[in-house]
Amino acid sequence: MTPPTFFTVRYVINPWMDTAIPVDTATAVAQWAVLRDTYRRLGHAVDEIAPVPGLPDMVYAANAALIVDDTAVIARFRHHQRAGESWAYTRWLRAHGYTTVSTVHVQEGQGDLMLVGSMVLAGIGFRTAPQAPAEIAKLVGLPVVGLELTDPRFYHLDTALAVLDDTTIAYYPAAFTAEARATLTELFPDAIVVAGSDAHVLGLNAVSDGRHVIHPAAATGFADQLHRAGFVPIGLDLSELLKGGGAAKCCTLEVYP
């Protein structure tokens, strides 16, 4: 995780961002700290990566890479404003023993690449190129299933789909093409289907450890669904960080052993 020390909205690269709406960076830091401390309270280790001046979106650490075992597939960002984040995270990952690899095609790390059991789901269409899944499959040695996104408000897969455990996902169907929905239905017939009211507060931008699911507090319907499915929902106020288009998952680069 990277603290939002320099977080602000000074450009627009997704529909959640509005330079006319002020950002309270101190509030963003406080909300982020609650998220970090929640992970630690649940027994998870959290490494902090120092933020870099001039990279206001670096708080969204999930976009930096896909990490599988000792390999980190470094993001190739679509927008030039975020390109510097790749170098910052590459340096940290190499210093901590990871082998870093790059891609030819545009892809944005765990924002669009989500490990479910022994496969990777890949969101394509806005930030990740359609050719990227095949390239990433060769790099990590796992099947990668491409899912086309259609709504620009759900520009990354992690805004429209949450991985809850090795066999369970939750998703918002309207964010996907008919073909992608059919694929998800086939792969995950027991998935939790989330309503638009929860998806549009980025409720699916959540992190699960297989039991506890940390999500934006405003997604109350999703919380009820999680509870009925046997998970423990933990809603947090991440409203300031939503101004950049991210919440719990965006702020968390998960390490898959």
Q: Per residue in 201-245, pLDDT tens?
A: 999 999 999 999 999 999 999 999 999 999 999 999 999 999 999
Residue with tokens 């699916």: 204
Query: Could you tell me the two tokens for 234?
Result: 């933990």
CA distances from 205 to 32, 48, 126, 142, 153 (A): 14, 20, 17, 23, 12
- For the segment 62-69, the average pLDDT, to the nearest whole number, is 96
Residue 9 pLDDT > 90:
yes
Query: Could you tell me the two tokens for 139?
Result: 């790099």
- For the segment 110-138, the average pLDDT, to the nearest whole number, is 97
Beta strand residue intervals within the chain, DSSP E = 65-68, 71-74, 99-101, 113-116, 119-124, 144-148, 161-163, 169-171, 192-193, 207-208, 212-216, 232-236
What is the model's pLDDT at position 155? 98
Domain 25-244 grouped into CATH 3.75.10.10: yes
How far is Cα 47 from Cα 11, in angstroms, rounded to an integer?
28
Residue 165 pLDDT > 80:
yes
Residue 39 pLDDT > 80:
yes
- pLDDT above 70: percentage of residues in the chain: 99
What is the model's pLDDT at position 167? 97
Residue 256 pLDDT > 80:
no
What is the model's pLDDT at position 89? 97
Annotated active-site residue in 212, 215, 250, 251: 250
219 SS3 class: coil
Query: Could you tell me the two tokens for 38?
Result: 């929640």
Q: Write down the pTM of the prediction.
A: 0.97
Other C-beta atoms closer than 10 Å to the C-beta of 106 total 17
Annotated active-site residue in 44, 156, 200, 227: 156
CA distances from 168 to 35, 184, 209 (A): 23, 11, 12
Going by pLDDT thresholds of 50, 70 and 90, the confidence category of residue 81 is very high
Q: Are 153 and 177 in contact (CB under 8 A)?
A: no
Residue 64 pLDDT > 80:
yes
152 SS3 class: helix
What is the model's pLDDT at position 257? 64
Q: Are 246 and 60 in contact (CB under 8 A)?
A: yes
135 SS3 class: helix
Distant-in-sequence, close-in-space partners of 79: CB < 8 Å, separation ≥ 6: 13
Residue 186 pLDDT > 80:
yes
- For the segment 136-164, the average pLDDT, to the nearest whole number, is 98
Q: Are 115 and 163 in contact (CB under 8 A)?
A: yes
Task: Please confirm, yes or no, whether 251 is among the known catalytic residues.
Answer: no
Residue with tokens 């599988």: 68
| CA angle 71–73–77, rounded 5-degree value | 160
What is the model's pLDDT at position 214? 98
Task: Please confirm, yes or no, whether 250 is among the known catalytic residues.
Answer: yes
